[in-house]
Amino acid sequence: MMDLKGIYPPIPTSFTQSGDLALERLQQNLIHLSQFELAGFLVLGSNGETVMLSQSEKISVYEAARQAIPARMLMLAGTGGQSTRETIELTQAAARSGADAALVLNPFYYKGLMTKEALVSHYFLVADQSSIPVIIYNMPANTGIDMTADTILAMSEHPNIIGLKDSGGNLAKMGEIVGKAKPGFQVLAGSAGFLLPALTVGAVGGILASANIAPQHCIDLYKMFLARQMDNAKNLQNRIIELNAFVTREQGVPALKAAMDILGMYGGPCREPILALSEPNKQALSSLLTSTLT
């Protein structure tokens, strides 16, 4: 079974000022971040503005990203769609492009119909027709659906479903899943804001927006936990909470891209209707970056 241990940045998708894909800029960011001891990257997650891209654009991003990501590092590809058919097509396209595993966000538009039975059936059908392993993605802030431990455990029984990225932050639920899932099922924290607590209940790493802008801090926190340097780990966890909250919960993708620009990478614009970060917020972000990273 694939080993998911470690830290993964969910890389933002780069756009030109006119809104077209800027694939060379994306590749430059991936090459820069590959210098760190990361386990790999998530391409086209929530921070990749995946819902803003057409299917053909998504495939172009998969292909460009794989070209830039070293073979030693895993490429996780976001492939979740609103229909099972679309999700299967994207998952198969990601596999052809060289992705190592698919991260599948649950369908959410017809919330009232997304019962346990519907969701389990969806994930099983996708996993059945995928040549690469499938990872469940629970992101209630964006989907409006917080999948229960019972639902996720039922999904985990499929032999080709190997793990979970949970961005909800419910540590009791994470611990229950770790304790009850089949051997080898792996849980990844979905935010640097609760990385250390997630590790303490059995998570094996994290897919963290902050790993794009503070990769060494996230790696160090993970290594401190493994070395049982808990006081140091707690101090570092507390240090990154404020910056992480600003670029995830409070301001979102515009703040993450603005932070990348400030740090010398390419953030660039978001796709409309998402607006750029305001100047006052850019100033606040710059101060947070200075205080956190120096």
User: Inter-axis angle of helices 23-33 and 55-68, to 10 degrees?
Assistant: 40
Is 165 a residue of the active site? yes
What is the C-alpha to C-alpha distance for residues 79 and 144, in angstroms, rounded to an integer? Answer: 18
Instruction: Write the DSSP assignment of 78-128 as a string of letters.
Output: E---SSHHHHHHHHHHHHHTT-SEEEEEPP-TTGGG--HHHHHHHHHHHHH
What is the C-alpha to C-alpha distance for residues 247 and 8, in angstroms, rounded to an integer? Answer: 16
Tokens 């059945």 map to which residue? Answer: 128
What is the C-alpha to C-alpha distance for residues 267 and 255, in angstroms, rounded to an integer? Answer: 9
Let me know: does 257 contact 270? Beta carbons within 8 Å.
yes
The residue annotated as part of the active site, out of 5, 111, 116, 165, is 165
Tell me the CA distances in angstroms from 241 to 28, 72, 208, one per residue in order: 27, 30, 12
The answer for residues whose C-beta is within 8 angstroms of residue 267's C-beta and 6 or more apart is: 12, 256, 257, 258, 259, 260, 261
The Cβ of residue 5 has, within 10 Å, a number of other Cβ atoms equal to 12
User: Would you please indicate which residues are annotated as catalytic (active-site) residues?
Assistant: 165
